[in-house]
Amino acid sequence: MELVALLVGPGSPEGKALQDAQRLLEVVGSAARLGKITREELHRVGLGRRKALAILAAVELRNRIHKNSLFPGQPFRSSLEIFRHFRPLVEGLKKECFWCLLLDGKNLILRVVRISEGTLTASLVHPREVYRPAIREAAAGVLFVHNHPSGDPAPSQEDIQITRRLVEVGKVVGIRALDHVIIGAHRYFSFVDQGLF
């Protein structure tokens, strides 16, 4: 709450800034949900133009930093790194989405490709769609990522089956599958870390 108070605080007495911050957090539910708030909602809370713009600017800066934290030429080092990048991107998503990181022979990122958006409980993925961009980009390796909107990153039987199938297809086309990371609310599951690759 204190950080939000700092954003709404310039030009306000300290107690008023804390009251504004508390009122704002009560309306949105949590600081994490500020990432989806609109200017109109900020005005409805009673914040003036300058304070609303300060919050929106801070949120946009955070989003840009997170979106660009995995960029072409950067090396892939760990499943934790993948979790840290994708967690803010999947927060609040109601459907499962599936991404494929395309890597070169030294595990440097070529591109991050969003493959599909599924249903509330399933990400509909076909190996053809997964490997098409990898073949087109001449990727040497791939890494799969998807989210579980439930917040529990434990793999379903379908997750295990599609992962095995994707690994096998990768062997056939000569593209190494390095890992499959499932992003939950506060945890993640890595097939490699759990010895399932």
Task: Encode pLDDT of 52-69 as tens digits.
Answer: 777 777 777 766 655 545
Sheet holding 109-117, edge to edge: 109-117, 97-103, 141-147, 176-183, 188-190
Q: Which CATH number, 3.40.640.10, 3.40.140.10, 2.40.160.20, 3.40.50.1370, labels domain 79-190?
A: 3.40.140.10
Burial class (CB in 10 A: 0-12, 13-18, 19+), 132: middle
pLDDT reported for residue 37: 73
Both tokens assigned to 162: 């599609």
Q: What is the dihedral of CA 132, 127, 141, 139, to 10 degrees?
A: -10
Residue keyed to tokens 């991404």: 99
Q: What pLDDT, in 10s, does the model give residues 29-38?
A: 666 666 677 7
Both tokens assigned to 51: 């304070």
pLDDT reported for residue 49: 78
Both tokens assigned to 70: 């995995």
Q: pLDDT tens track of the chain, all 197 residues?
A: 566 666 666 555 556 767 777 777 776 666 666 667 777 777 777 777 777 777 777 777 766 655 545 667 778 789 999 998 898 888 888 899 999 999 999 999 999 999 998 765 566 789 999 999 999 999 999 999 999 999 999 999 999 999 999 999 999 999 999 999 999 999 999 999 999 88
Both tokens assigned to 76: 């892939």
User: What is the spatial distance between Cα 30 and Cα 28, in angstroms, rounded to a whole number?
Assistant: 6
- Of the candidates 149, 94, 89, the residue with the CA atom closest to the CA atom of residue 114: 89
User: What is the spatial distance between Cα 55 and Cα 51, in angstroms, rounded to a whole number?
Assistant: 6
pLDDT reported for residue 68: 47
